Chains A and B, each alone.
Chain A
Amino acid sequence: MNLDISYIIVFGLYVVFLAWTTWKSSQQVESLSDFTTGGHRMGLFLGVGTSVATWVSVASVMGVPGFLYRTGVAAIIGWVAGWFLATAIMPMLAYKVRRPDIPARTFPEFIRMRYEPFQKVSSLQIIVAVLMFVGYFIFSHLQVVGFGIVFNTITGIPYEWAIFGFLVFLLMTCLGGFWSVAATDTVNAILILIGLAFGLGAVLSATGGVGNILDAVAVTTAPVNVGGPPMKAGIMLTPEGSFGWGALMAIFMANALGASVAPHWIARFMAPKNAKAAVLQMMWTVIALIPIFICLIIIGLGAKALLPSLPAGKTTDYIMPLIVQQYAPPFVGAMTLIAIMAAAVSTANSMLLHCGTSIYYDIYRALFPNREMDEAKATNHLRISVFLLGVLAVVSAIKPPMMLAMGFTYVYGAFGAAFMWPVWFGLFWKRMNRAGAYAGVFVGAGTYVIAKIMNATNPFAVGAAVSLFAVLIAVYMTKAPAKEAYEAYFEADVSPSTREVALRIRQESDESAHEKVSLSAKPAAK
C-alpha cells in the first residue's frame, strides 16, 4: 500500500464535501424536468461550473498529458484546440436550442420535436436514443477506467477492485438528477483547477521551469516505454508530431465538429434560463478552461523531462498519477489526484444521467406512451436506470480496451458524422425535414463505422461528407416540413398550433405536465 496520511485526509474531506453538496442540492423537490434538464432555469454560475466539470474529463486530465508525453505538442492541435473549437462554436447552437418557449428535455426529444412532431411514437427519437445510449456508455466506461487508475494510485488497491469505488460516488452525485450533478460538478470544477495548479507548481519546481522543459523535450529520444523504439529527436516540438498532418487533422476535426453536436452538450443548452444565458455559459466555460489546459500542457511536457520513459506495460494514461506521486509533496500530490478523480466523477455522472435518460425517458416511455406513470415514480425509475448503468460501466471497465483520449475521439467522430447535419440544418435551415434527418443519422453513422473498419485516415470527414450528400438529396426529393417542426427555432412568437404540438410531446412524455392540451394537434394548412 502506498497510502499516505495526507492522501487520506484530502480524500476524506473531498468525500464529506461532496456528500454535503449533494445533500444540500437534493433538498430541492425535483420534477422530471428538474431531473433531466434542471427545469430550464439554471443560472450562469452553476451552468459554467457544470459545463467546465463535464468538459474536463479523464480524457482531458489524464489523456491530454498522456498524449503530450507520447507525441509532443501535436496533442495541442488534435485534442486541446479541437475541443476548444468545439466549445467555441457551441454558442451558435446554444443560441438556437434554447430559443423555444417550450424546449425539449432531452436530445432525442429535440430531434422528435424538430422532425417528427406529429408521430405518436417517434422512431427517430428512439433510434437517436439508442445511438446515444451506446456512445454514452462508452464515455462512462472510460471515466470509470480513469477513476480506477487514480484510485489505484492513491490507495494501492488493485485496479480491478478500485473501479468499484466509483459506485459510491455515483450514488452520491448522480441519483439526485441534474441539480445534484450541477452542484457537485461546480465543486469538482473548482477542485480540478486548484488541484492542477498544485500539480503545475510541483512539475515546475521539479524541472526548474518551462525553459528547462522545452530544452529537454527538444532533444529527447527516450522511448515512451522502457525497451520501446526510440523517438526521433526534435519530433515532440513539431506541430504534426508522429501523427502526420492527415491523421492529426482527422483527430482535430472529429474533436471539434463532432464534439460540438454531442447530445450531452445540446442537452446542456436546454438547461439555462434563456438563450443569452446559454450563449454566455459556453463563453465563460471556454475562459475558465484556459488555466486548466495551461496546467495540463505544461504537466504533460514536463513529465517527459522528468520521467523520459514509462515502465514497460504502463499506458501513457498513467503519466499524470505517476508524476505527481514521484515529484510532488504528499499533500500536493493528493490534491492533484483528487482533481483527476473529480474530473472522472463529474463527467461520468453527467454521462450516466444522459445514458439513463435516453434508455428510460426516450426509449421506454416513447415506446409505451399510454402507460400510466406518475412523476415521482418516473424519477425513481430514472434513478434506478442510472445506477444499474453505473454498475455495468464498472464491470465493463475491468479490462479496459482503449486509450482514454482516443476512445473519446472515436465516439465524438461517430456522433459528429451522425448528428452534425440533423442538428445544424435543423436549427438553421427551415427546409430541413424528416427524410433529411433519417438520411443524416443512418448514412452518417453507417459511413463512419465502415470508414473506421477500412482504416480511413479521416473517418469523420468521410462520414460527414457522404452524410451531407445524402441529406441534401433526401431533403430536395421530399416535401418541406410543416411549420410546427421548425417555427420555435426561428421565430420569437410561434403560432398556437406549434405551441400545442410542443406541449403535447412533453405531456406524452410526462403525465404530470401542468398544461392540459388537446391530443388532436394536426399540421396547420400551408
Chain B
Amino acid sequence: MAIALLFWGCSIIFVLVVALILCQKIEASGVKRWGATGSLFSYEKEEAK
C-alpha cells in the first residue's frame, strides 16, 4: 500500500517542481507573449482599472 501511494505522491511532487521551473524560465525569458508578467504564477497582466 505504502509503495503504491509513494508512486502516486512522487508524480504529484514532480508536477509542482516542473511547473515552478517552467514558470521561472518564462519569467526569465521576459517574453510577454509566452506569459511573462513579472509575477511567477500570473499568466496575464491585470488590466488598469
Task: List residues of A whose CB falls within 8 A of some B CB.
Answer: 44, 73-74, 76-77, 80-81, 84-85, 87-89, 91-92, 95, 98-99, 101, 214, 237, 239, 252, 256, 272-277, 279-280, 282-283, 286-287, 290, 293, 492
Instruction: Please measure, in the bound complex, the distance between the C-alpha atom of A453 and the C-alpha atom of B43, giving whole angstroms.
Output: 47
> Across the interface, which residues of B come within 8 angstroms of A80, CB to CB?
8
> Across the interface, which residues of A come within 8 angstroms of B12, CB to CB?
84, 88, 286-287, 290
On whether the beta carbons of A276 and B23 are closer than 8 Å, the reply is yes
Of all chain A residues, the one with the shortest Cβ separation from B31 is: A492
Partner of A279, one of B5, B7, B26: B26
On whether the beta carbons of A277 and B43 are closer than 8 Å, the reply is yes
> Across the interface, which residues of A come within 8 angstroms of B10, CB to CB?
81
> Across the interface, which residues of A come within 8 angstroms of B4, CB to CB?
73-74, 76-77, 81, 239
Partner of B19, one of A237, A282, A293, A492: A282
Instruction: Please measure, in the bound complex, the distance between the C-alpha atom of A22 and the C-alpha atom of B6, giving whole angstroms.
Output: 40
Known: A279-B26, A492-B33. A91 touches B8 (CB 8 A): no
> Across the interface, which residues of B come within 8 angstroms of A290, CB to CB?
12
> Across the interface, which residues of B come within 8 angstroms of A277, CB to CB?
35, 43-44
Known: A76-B5, A274-B35. A283 touches B16 (CB 8 A): yes
Task: List residues of B whose CB falls within 8 A of some A CB.
Answer: 1, 3-5, 7-8, 10-12, 14-16, 18-19, 22-23, 25-26, 29, 31, 33-37, 41, 43-44
Q: How many A-B residue pairs have CB under 8 A?
A: 101
Query: Can you list 24 A-B contacts (CB < 8 A)?
Result: A73-B1, A76-B5, A76-B8, A81-B10, A81-B11, A87-B15, A88-B11, A88-B14, A95-B26, A239-B4, A252-B7, A272-B43, A274-B43, A274-B44, A275-B35, A276-B26, A280-B19, A280-B41, A283-B18, A286-B11, A286-B12, A287-B12, A492-B33, A492-B34
Instruction: Please measure, in the bound complex, the distance between the C-alpha atom of A259 and the C-alpha atom of B39, giving whole angstroms.
Output: 31
Partner of B7, one of A81, A273, A293: A81
On whether the beta carbons of B22 and A91 are closer than 8 Å, the reply is yes
Instruction: Enumerate the 8 nearest inter-chain pairs by beta-carbon distance, A residue then B residue, closest first.
Output: A276-B35, A88-B15, A283-B19, A81-B7, A274-B35, A76-B4, A84-B11, A239-B3
Known A98-B34, A276-B37; 13 more pairs at CB < 8 Å: A73-B1, A84-B15, A85-B14, A87-B15, A88-B15, A91-B15, A275-B34, A276-B22, A279-B26, A280-B19, A282-B19, A293-B8, A492-B31
On whether the beta carbons of B35 and A273 are closer than 8 Å, the reply is yes
Instruction: Please measure, in the bound complex, the distance between the C-alpha atom of A282 and the C-alpha atom of B26, giving whole angstroms.
Output: 16
> Across the interface, which residues of A come within 8 angstroms of B18, CB to CB?
88-89, 91-92, 283
> Across the interface, which residues of B come within 8 angstroms of A76, CB to CB?
4-5, 7-8
On whether the beta carbons of A283 and B43 are closer than 8 Å, the reply is no
On whether the beta carbons of A286 and B15 are closer than 8 Å, the reply is yes
Choose among A74, A95, A274, A276 the residue with the greatest number of B CB atoms under 10 Å from its CB. A276
On whether the beta carbons of A276 and B43 are closer than 8 Å, the reply is yes
> Across the interface, which residues of B come within 8 angstroms of A77, CB to CB?
3-4, 7-8
A453 shortest CB reach to chain B, Å = 29
On whether the beta carbons of A273 and B43 are closer than 8 Å, the reply is yes
Instruction: Please measure, in the bound complex, the distance between the C-alpha atom of A36 and the C-alpha atom of B12, giving whole angstroms.
Output: 30
Of all chain B residues, the one with the shortest Cβ separation from A241 is: B4
Instruction: Please measure, in the bound complex, the distance between the C-alpha atom of A77 and the C-alpha atom of B3, giving whole angstroms.
Output: 8
On whether the beta carbons of A279 and B11 are closer than 8 Å, the reply is no
Instruction: Please measure, in the bound complex, the distance between the C-alpha atom of A84 and the C-alpha atom of B13, giving whole angstroms.
Output: 10
B40 shortest CB reach to chain A, Å = 9
Instruction: Please measure, in the bound complex, the distance between the C-alpha atom of A185 and the C-alpha atom of B12, giving whole angstroms.
Output: 23
On whether the beta carbons of B35 and A282 are closer than 8 Å, the reply is no
A220 shortest CB reach to chain B, Å = 14
Instruction: Please measure, in the bound complex, the distance between the C-alpha atom of A252 and the C-alpha atom of B6, giving whole angstroms.
Output: 14
> Across the interface, which residues of B come within 8 angstroms of A276, CB to CB?
22-23, 26, 34-37, 43
